A = this chain, B = another copy of it.
Amino acid sequence: MDTKTKGRKAAAADGDIGNETRLELYRSQVELRYCEKRAYDLFLQNLIKGTSHLSLGQEAIAAAFGVAMRPDDWTFCTYRGHAHTLARGASMAGVLGELMGRECGLLGGKGGSMHLTDVEHGAMGSYAIIGAHLPVAAGAAWSAQYRGSGQVAVCFFGDGTTNIGAFHEALNFSAVWSLPVVFVCENNLYMEYTPIHAVTAVPHPAADRAGAYGLEAVIVDGNDADETYRVAVKYIDRARKGGGPALIEAKTYRHSGHSRADPAKYRPEGELEKWLERDPLVIYRERLRGLGFAEGTLKDVEEAAMRKVDEATATAKASPPPSVADIEKNVWADGGAAWRN
C-alpha cells in the first residue's frame, strides 16, 4: 500500500476504519515497537552512545497519525521521536544508524538520536529543546496556508511541554491565524522524573488549556490506535479544509525510563504493571483477532517487521563512522562552514 493511497483512505475513514487500515495500523505499531526494542538492545551492547528516549508503550499515537497523514504532510517531533520519524516512512537503517553514529544515519551522525529528520518523508525534524518546535510547526502550517497546498503540520510533544512559554505562543498564534496544524500532546504522566500533576495547575495539561486559545478540548485514549486514528483523521481533515488548528491530548504511558540513564524508580508500585495491561500492541492484537484477523496474518506482519529490524540493524552495523571531514560541512547551504574569506 503506497503512501498516496494511505492519505486518501484516511480522509475517508469517518465511519468504519476498514481492515486494510487496521492492518496498516498494526504493522506500524509492531515495527515501531520492534525497532525501539532493538535500539534498547543496541544500547546494552554499547553500540549506541549518548542518550536516547524510547517511545515504548506510546506507539499507537505515532502509528495512528502516521497512517492518517497525507505523504506531503509534515511531522514535527521531539527527542522522543524515533517512532514518529519511522511512522512517516523514514529508513529504519537510517534511524538506527543515526543512533549508532554511523555514516548511514539519517543525519550522517551529526544530529544523533534527539534530532531525527527525514525531509523526503515529511519528518521535518526532532527538536530537543522543550517547546521549540511548536512555533516551527505553526510556521510550516502558515506556509501551507499561504501556498494553498492543503498540507497539514502535525506536532507531537509531551505533557511537560505544556508548561513552557513556547507552547502558549504557538497555540495562540496558530489559532489567530487559523493555521492547519494539529498539536498532539502525548500525556505519559511524567516530564522527566517528576509527575506532571506535581507541576501543572490543571489535571489535563493540554485539554484544560485548549479553551485559552478558543479551541475545543479533545482527549483521546492514546493507547488505542483506532480511537487515536479517528481523532487524527478528523482534526487533520478539518485543518486541511481550513478549519484551523487543534490541540489533542492523548493519554498514554512510557514503559521504560525517560531516557537511557533512567531506571524510573520514581514510579509508584504497580503503575507500570497496570499500564502494561493496556499495552497498545496487546490491545490491538486482541482486537484484530476478535475482528477475525487470522493468527497467521498477524504473525506474518510480526515476522516481516522483525526481518526489517534485523536488516536495518545489519546495515547500520556495517556502516562506517562518519568521516572527520564532515565536521566542517553543511553549516551553510554552500556545503561548507567558512565564516571568513
Would you call B214 and A212 a contact (CB within 8 A)? no
Chain B residues near A213 (CB-CB < 8 A): 201-202
Measured CA separation A319–B165 after assembly (Å): 43
Q: A170-182, CB under 8 A of B: which get 1 and which 0?
A: 0111011000000
Would you call A172 and B163 a contact (CB within 8 A)? yes
Chain A residues bordering chain B, tally (CB within 8 A): 24
Copies per complex of this chain: 2
* Nearest opposing residue in chain B for A178, CB measure: B201
Would you call A176 and B164 a contact (CB within 8 A)? no
* Nearest opposing residue in chain B for A131, CB measure: B165
Q: Which of A164, A208, A212 has the most CB of B within 10 A?
A: A212
Chain B residues near A50 (CB-CB < 8 A): none
Prevailing SS type, chain A contact patch? helix
Given contacts A168-B169, A201-B215, 5 further A-B contacts (CB under 8 A): A165-B165, A168-B168, A175-B201, A202-B211, A211-B212
Question: Is A183 in the interface zone, CB < 8 Å from B?
Answer: no
Question: Is A19 in the interface zone, CB < 8 Å from B?
Answer: no
A139 CB to nearest chain B CB (Å)? 16
Chain B residues near A171 (CB-CB < 8 A): 201
Question: Is A167 in the interface zone, CB < 8 Å from B?
Answer: yes
Chain B residues near A202 (CB-CB < 8 A): 211-214
A280 CB to nearest chain B CB (Å)? 29
Chain B residues near A172 (CB-CB < 8 A): 163, 200-201
Residue from B173, B199, B211, B215 in contact with A176 in the complex, judged by beta carbons closer than 8 Å: B199
A115 CB to nearest chain B CB (Å)? 23
A87 CB to nearest chain B CB (Å)? 29
Measured CA separation A175–B163 after assembly (Å): 12
Chain B residues near A13 (CB-CB < 8 A): none
Question: Which residues in window 190-220 of A have CB below 8 A to B?
Answer: 198-202, 208-209, 211-215
Measured CA separation A66–B201 after assembly (Å): 29
Question: Is A272 in the interface zone, CB < 8 Å from B?
Answer: no
Measured CA separation A222–B209 after assembly (Å): 26
